[in-house]
């Protein structure tokens, strides 16, 4: 699971996208409206991590679905 803030100026989104593309195992890239430290969104980020780890999204291997990277960004 990679969660990347769309307003992150410290780590380019392209880096997260490249890691996502290269990794062959179960994966998901979620791009959310946030800065580098996810200011004010720590509970949401924690909930996303827990959901992904528990398999609740049902899309762990494809990255498709709401809030997921689809290769177009």
Give the pLDDT confidence score for residue 61 in this predicted structure. 46
Alpha-carbon separation of residue 23 from 4, 9, 20, 32 (angstroms): 16, 23, 6, 20
What average pLDDT does the segment 1-11 reach? Answer: 97
Q: Read off the pTM.
A: 0.73
Tracing tokens 């946030």 back to the chain, one arrives at: 34
Secondary structure element (H or E) that encloses residue 4, with its range:
strand 2-5
Tracing tokens 């999204």 back to the chain, one arrives at: 57
Over residues 7-62, the pLDDT tens digits come to 999 999 999 999 999 999 999 999 999 999 999 999 999 999 999 999 855 554 44
Give the pLDDT confidence score for residue 64 in this predicted structure. 43
> Tokens at residue 55, please?
């398999």
């Amino acid at each position: 699971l990679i969660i990347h803030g769309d307003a992150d100026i410290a780590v380019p989104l392209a880096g997260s996208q490249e890691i996502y593309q290269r990794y062959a195992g179960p994966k998901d890239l979620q791009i959310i409206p946030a800065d580098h430290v996810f200011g004010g969104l720590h509970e949401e980020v924690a909930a996303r991590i827990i959901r992904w780890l528990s398999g609740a999204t049902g899309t762990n291997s494809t990255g498709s679905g709401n809030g997921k990277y689809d290769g177009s960004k």
